Amino acid sequence: MSNVFVALQPGRTRPKLKLVPASEPGASVLQDAAPGIEASEAAAAIGLDPAKPQLSLWRAKTAPTSGTEVSPETQTWTETSAQYWRTLLEPLVASVYTKRSGNTLRRVNLLTRHPAYPWMQARVDWEVPGCPEVHLMRYLSVGRQDAAAWEEGLPAHERLNALHLLAVTGKQAVDLAVLVCGQELQIHRVARDEPVIARLVLLESRFWRCVELNQSPLSSSDQRSIRSAAEGGEVVRGLP
């Protein structure tokens, strides 16, 4: 699917967002957050996220918890935080996505886990019901410091994160609605890639074992292996 670019201009009529009632959660839904790797952390877990070092993620996962962590749903953000504006603009982005694609959206807000690997988790915010081509929509907000990575299309590490989401949910495709610098919307479709998913699950499993054993994370040879497994594919574009 080619990229779609939409300028969110002041004064434009906001397209109507089509919503349908949320379905009942299934057996794979987590009522509360549990230790694990979420979709936004997948590439970092295997050392392929340029903005999130693998060692930093490992330290965060092995650090003692205070028991007073605040969930994203109940966190209060100030107007000076990026998360405040990200949350504020999400309904508008969903509206524009609906207008451009014609797809109905269902807001679900569920944290799900892989049926075989409970530590593999994914937060599902939007479903696309009744569409055979794509089943999920994921919203991303990109600031000025990361905008350059999106100039040539979908970055490799974000494709890995999307494949983690598909692995956990069992879905076939996800649309990434990416708001760049608050004014440009890119839509990228990521479809299942079973060979890359299999390798991703293997390397994430090794990382999580390191977390459980409180041992240092994966070696650079493991990081190179997933590049070799998908050599020539989009997943390795821009990687050495």
Over residues 121-137, the pLDDT tens digits come to: 999 999 999 999 999 99
H or E element at residue 95 = helix 82-101
Distance CA 7, CA 184 (A): 5
Tell me which residue has tokens 């020539």: 232
At 199-217, the pLDDT tens digits run 999 999 999 999 999 998 8
CA dihedral 74, 81, 141, 71 (to 10 degrees): -20
Question: Per the structure block, which two tokens stand in for 120?
Answer: 């593999």
Predicted local confidence at residue 32, as pLDDT? 55
Q: How confident is the model at residue 225 (pLDDT cuts 50, 70, 90)?
A: low
Confidence of residue 95 (pLDDT cuts 50, 70, 90): very high
Helix (H) or strand (E) segment spanning residue 176:
strand 173-180
Quickly state the pLDDT bin for 223 (edges 50, 70, 90): low
Q: What is the pLDDT of residue 172?
A: 96
Question: Whole-prediction pTM value?
Answer: 0.77
Angle made by CA atoms 149, 154, 159, in degrees to the nearest 5: 115
For residue 20, what are its two tokens?
Answer: 């349908």
Please write the tens of the pLDDT for every residue from 24-59. 333 355 545 578 999 999 999 999 999 899 999 999
The share of the chain scoring above pLDDT 90, in percent, equals 60
CA 165 from chain centre, in angstroms, equals 6
The residues near 77 (Cβ < 8 Å, ≥ 6 apart) are 83, 84, 87
Inter-residue contact 157 to 49 (CB < 8 Å) = yes
Q: How far apart are CA 18 and CA 48, in angstroms?
A: 36
CATH of 29-62+101-236, one of 3.30.1360.30, 3.90.320.10, 3.40.190.10, 3.30.160.110: 3.90.320.10
Query: Which residues partner with 141 through β-bridges?
Result: 179
Q: Please enumerate in sequence order all residues whose Cβ is within 8 A of that of 95, keeping only pairs 6 or more positions apart, or say none.
A: 14, 15, 16, 17
Identify the pLDDT of residue 144: 87
